[in-house]
Chain A
Amino acid sequence: GAVVSQHPSWVICKSGTSVKIECRSLDFQATTMFWYRQFPKQSLMLMATSNEGSKATYEQGVEKDKFLINHASLTLSTLTVTSAHPEDSSFYICSAYTGQYNSPLHFGNGTRLTVT
């Protein structure tokens, strides 16, 4: 089945630094990738929709200058958390869509970010 690889699985960084998270579709081309965030004991929340070769679409309340998304190829999207703060500590997970209508979503294993 389709596999989505997300890296790193966990990262600890200092406040003020930037962290890049990668999401790769390993055996299919993903026209669209989604980035979600999950705080402890909360539901997943869509942050942004990333389409290959175009700018990402951000959900209301998500700062595009803070969460930089790049989808430069059909198999790779990256999320960079810039100038991270402790309140950015969360679980970030990506999912990928093949572009075939009614095809299921495939999720990465997520990245647990801790900002100290």
Chain B
Amino acid sequence: KNEVEQSPQNLTAQEGEFITINCSYSVGISALHWLQQHPGGGIVSLFMLSSGKKKHGRLIATINIQEKHSSLHITASHPRDSAVYICAVGGGGGADGLTFGKGTHLIIQP
């Protein structure tokens, strides 16, 4: 069973700061997901990665398969980025159920 560790668990930053959230896992995978969970509970899929790097707007996600590590970066952070960010791993590119990290609770203060 894959063990997924996220750090930090909690992060408070000022608007405009560059944010990094880290994720490591114990067993090789074919896909890693970064998810955003808002206070109401709804979850949005931000990225699905199998290698390299992806960018969407101010969000960047990278993965190092050899080191079993991924990072999520937020540039020019904004209060609306405040949410819980969750790393999840699963095989089969989505066909298998995911194993989740505990999440990083991010607060961006204006």
Residue positions of A touching B, CB distance < 8 A: 32, 34, 36, 38, 42-46, 49, 59, 91, 93, 95, 97, 99, 101-110, 112
Q: Name the residue among B43, B44, B48, B50 with the largest chain A CB count within 10 angstroms.
A: B43
How near does chain B come to A52, taking the closest CB pair, in angstroms?
13
On chain A, the residues within 8 Å of B33 by CB distance are 104-105
Instruction: Give the complex CA separation of A45 and B1 in angstroms.
Output: 13
Mostly, the B contact residues are mixed
Q: Provide a sorted-by-A list of 6 A–B residue pairs whose CB atoms are within 8 angstroms.
A: A34-B97, A36-B97, A42-B102, A49-B96, A97-B94, A112-B41
Given contacts A43-B103, A102-B31, A102-B50, contact A107 B44 (CB under 8 A): yes
On chain A, the residues within 8 Å of B52 by CB distance are none
Please tell me the size bucket of the interface on B.
Answer: 20 to 34
State the total of A-B contacts with C-beta under 8 angstroms.
64
Contacting pair A97 B95 (CB below 8 A): yes
CB-nearest residue of chain A relative to B105?
A41
Instruction: Give the complex CA separation of A34 and B31 in angstroms.
Output: 16
The 0/1 profile, CB within 8 Å of A marked 1, for residues 62-100 of chain B is 000000000000000000000000101000111111111
On chain B, the residues within 8 Å of A44 by CB distance are 86, 88, 98, 100
On chain A, the residues within 8 Å of B40 by CB distance are 109-110
Interface presence of B42 (CB below 8 A): yes
On chain B, the residues within 8 Å of A103 by CB distance are 93-94
Instruction: Give the complex CA separation of A14 and B34 in angstroms.
Output: 36
- Using A44-B88, A46-B98, A99-B95 as known contacts, list a sample of 4 further A-B pairs with CB atoms less than 8 Å apart, ordered by residue number in A: A34-B98, A44-B86, A91-B41, A97-B94
Contacting pair A43 B98 (CB below 8 A): no
Instruction: Give the complex CA separation of A106 and B92 in angstroms.
Output: 15
Contacting pair B94 A46 (CB below 8 A): no
